[in-house]
Structure 1
């Protein structure tokens, strides 16, 4: 029986992934602010350290897969703390526990928002590991009425972090496929405020075109995450897989980068 750690497991994509893997007979260690096996706040350094300690204790230092899924879609420093620094701390902190698995896997949840306008300075601050500077830059963006750039910037940074490391010694070199998913619009508690009326749905659809079946339920990206952390996935390395109903194709055309 495989043991999989999933952050953001109390709702949305994380919950759907946890339910799917449990149905398949796998052990899931859910992580969230509440209603989880490990209740921590990934926006804080203390919460990130406690995550590793608690998972280590609950699993006997053995994990087969990690899904860094927790995220916030709010224009605030908290989004940067969770979406980027929390995700990176989850993957880096739990990586040593994967080394004892015969088929270790890791995946993260980004977003098709990584294709949208973002703030280069914020992305670079995140990638340099300077959380304090990233918090200051985020506050400045919000104060300048540019808070809409915060979420996309965290996802751009997360994609770049993965691409920079997936083929390196710590991941591919250790036999650990590291990949990510970039969902389009998913019906979750995080998006319910943006989908409350037909007008809001139409406005969002104009921003995020999804010609194949439109807005999706969380079980759709959950199935992709489940495959990414399954033993079957032996060679996918550093790929950001867009499960977005075609948004990537519409926005980027025939470009494959």
Structure 2
């Protein structure tokens, strides 16, 4: 997909996985892409902390002169650790809310965040509800409690569930849709990234993952097979898709939920 006018993007999680693949695709089209990650990027920031989130926004403002055309919030963690909710939800929301004024100054502004097909799995309401209430201390405590119960695996899906719900609530508002800024999430199935490959290589774990995320169409995805969807959703061509959780999951959502998706 080639856009007539070069655009300025900011991509978090740009050092690996979906973020890296998407940044590479956009740069190959002639766009300016600011990458953000823990280290080695245009903006080094730890999105698990309030300080890191503020640094991301401040540096983005400095480097862009206060205007962005698109934001792709791809940074994420999949650890049995409270940091997972801190990065996946609070870091992502702070990224989008903090950069919204820069988008409002941009041309054909667009924003997308990475959720997951795990958002439709059973989740921990204490984690997700605290996140949606904006209570990071309570969400962190709920994540700690899940770990103590031996349910640390629930933190990731709960973070992605809360994020998808935040997008649904936020996209139609005056600050986003009313300002002409589409806001969407994508929900990948299993993607081959440095985060997932060790798990998929572990005997028994791959079978558990494939049972939880059945992908009848073409199996696991490479990161560069997800990037075109992010490209479209953040392009000027996307004029009316907003508030959507777009599954790019090889059929996992349809397999798990059938026709009960509405």
TM range (shorter): over 0.9
Aligned to 1:246: 251
Aligned partner of 1:170 among 151, 169, 175: 175
Which 10-residue stretch deviates more, 197-206 or 216-225? Answer: 197-206
Please give the alpha-carbon distance, in whole angstroms, between the structure 2 residues aligned to 1:197 and 1:78. Answer: 23
Aligned partner of 1:22 among 18, 23, 27: 27
Aligned to 1:50: 55
How big is the shift at 1:200? 3.5
Aligned to 2:118: 113
Contact 1:105 1:177 in 2 (8 A): yes
1:132 aligns with 2:141: no
Please give the alpha-carbon distance, in whole angstroms, between the structure 1 residues aligned to 2:108 and 2:187. Answer: 23
Q: Which runs of 5+ in 2 are unaligned?
A: 1-5
Please give the alpha-carbon distance, in whole angstroms, between the structure 2 residues aligned to 1:145 and 1:195. Answer: 21
Aligned partner of 1:149 among 151, 154, 158: 154
Aligned to 2:102: 97
How big is the shift at 1:197? 4.7
Aligned CA distance change for structure 1 residues 197 and 134 (closer, same or farther; 3 Å): closer
Please give the alpha-carbon distance, in whole angstroms, between the structure 2 residues aligned to 1:236 and 1:128. Answer: 26
Aligned to 2:66: 61
1:31 aligns with 2:42: no
Task: Give aligned pairs, total.
Answer: 257
What is the TM-score of this pair, normalised by structure 1?
A: 0.98
What is the TM-score of this pair, normalised by structure 2?
A: 0.96
Please give the alpha-carbon distance, in whole angstroms, between the structure 1 residues aligned to 2:186 and 2:226. Answer: 8
The alignment's C-alpha RMSD in Å is 1.0
Q: Which runs of 5+ in 1 are unaligned?
A: none
Contact 1:181 1:221 in 2 (8 A): no
Please give the alpha-carbon distance, in whole angstroms, between the structure 1 residues aligned to 2:18 and 2:192. Answer: 9
1:12 aligns with 2:17: yes
How big is the shift at 1:198? 6.3
Shift >4 Å, 4+ stretches: none
Secondary structure, in 3 states, of the residue corresponding to 2:111? strand
Please give the alpha-carbon distance, in whole angstroms, between the structure 2 residues aligned to 1:35 and 1:243. Answer: 29
Aligned CA distance change for structure 1 residues 122 and 199 (closer, same or farther; 3 Å): closer
